[in-house]
Amino acid sequence: MSIEVLTLLFFGSLLFFLLLGLPLAFVLGGVSVVFLYFTWGFDSFYMVASQIWGTMESFTLVAIPLFVFMAMVLERTGVARDLYRMMHLWFGGLRGGLAIGTLVICAVFAAMVGISGAAVVAMGTIALPSMLERGYDRKMALGVINTGGGWGILIPPSILMILYALITGVSVGQMFAAGIMPGVLLMVMTVIYIVVRSTLQPHMAPALPPEERGSWPDKFRALRAVLLPIGVVFMVLGSIIGGITTPTEAAAMGVLGSLISAAVYRQLKWGILQEAAIRTFKLTGMIMWILFAAHAFSAAYQSMGAQELIEGMMQHIPGGPWGIIIAMMVIIFFLAMVLDPVGIMLITLPVFMPIVKSLGFDPIWFGILFVINMEIGYKTPPFGFNLFYLKGVVPPGITMKDIYASVVPFVIIEILAIAIIMIYPQIATWLPGVFF
């Protein structure tokens, strides 16, 4: 059977079972094992086991449960509530101020937790009712929370970046450093959009009345709320950049910081730690099973001769190397609408990465484009995770249609950011060159 027919059957089977609603890990692994057996026979399973064994020996994997546990603890400490109070006092007097403050909090949360859902749930619970009560347009408020919540996978530390480094063989520390400037770029672009929109349409994001803006003593007292988050960020990123720890060891520093934060907020209780640990086990277990399945997928597809097929197809894409990169981004964009980001990464990277390297592009730079595209996937219909996280905490009057419509301008901003980083790759590559 030709590689073209095998490819059609292989991906058709994957899509069919995924649309039936079966778990990604079992679909990816099960279909791969069946194709391996019928193309290479029983002995091919030893190749999969060998690859999985090599991955499980990787010290980098230890960072995943540690960062997840850190996020689960921080989510329950009350840090987000105090941060929002501080932003409310400092930014509320500006048009669009609460939205800008919410974005800043999301960026801080992203630099603490490394996953997407934490900031969406926290800000959906705390900031959304506050903005709606003060006359903010619901689409503006929902869109801000959705877009800021997605930054958890771009601004380091990021679990998705760890997985990218694990699959492609690049440095985790360099990926973390590469995510800082694009994260700042996205925040600046989004703030500019809010300022312009609220200036042209003041009813979209009105300023707070004078009596709610707080006195200067109140504002300075509220600044204490940023001390603990800055401390946690410094413990994680500072220890990596300073050369004190590896990224994996820095995850343990982050856990220590989250436990200190919980103790300061008097939330260091057995029940909270137990719940955080159980959720960590569940999430980490899911990631491990998807990793196992992805190795089976990679072995199956490569054994069919996929590399030659994909490279041949890419050569026929107009626009040369840049046309190929844009085509990859478009493929990832549409996959992100319907599949889990970890699954997309494990399906596409074994195919795309050799091509990216052969074209002479920096895999760190491509990784940042990839992660931003995954970030867009978290908030694009029909299956963006952040959309459903947000639906779970919004007031009853807000429909899924409102949430879907709210993300459109923010998705356009992120696509523009991808274009800017493609034109000026130094945005992603400069800091890794400085620190490493």
Q: How far is CA 53 from CA 44, 306, 316, in A?
A: 15, 23, 37
Mean pLDDT (whole number) for 324-338: 86
Which is higher by pLDDT, 117 or 8?
A: 8
pLDDT score for 424? 95
Mean pLDDT (whole number) for 148-167: 84
Q: What is the pLDDT of residues 370-416, one digit of tens each?
A: 999 988 888 887 767 788 778 877 888 888 888 888 999 999 999 99
Q: What is the pLDDT of residues 243-301, one digit of tens each?
A: 788 777 888 888 888 898 888 888 888 988 998 899 888 878 877 777 777 677 767 77
Mean pLDDT (whole number) for 153-158: 83
pLDDT score for 411? 93
Q: What is the pLDDT of residues 346-378, one digit of tens each?
A: 778 878 888 899 889 999 999 999 999 988 888
pLDDT level of residue 322 (50, 70, 90 thresholds)? very high
pLDDT score for 364? 95
Which is higher by pLDDT, 420 or 24?
A: 420
Q: What is the pLDDT of residues 39-79, one digit of tens each?
A: 777 777 777 777 677 667 767 677 778 877 887 787 777 77
Average the pLDDT over each of 97-111, 189-203, 354-368, 407-421 and give the range with the smallest value.
97-111
Determine the Cα–Cα distance for residues 428 and 166; give it in Å rounded to an integer.
19
pLDDT score for 396? 81
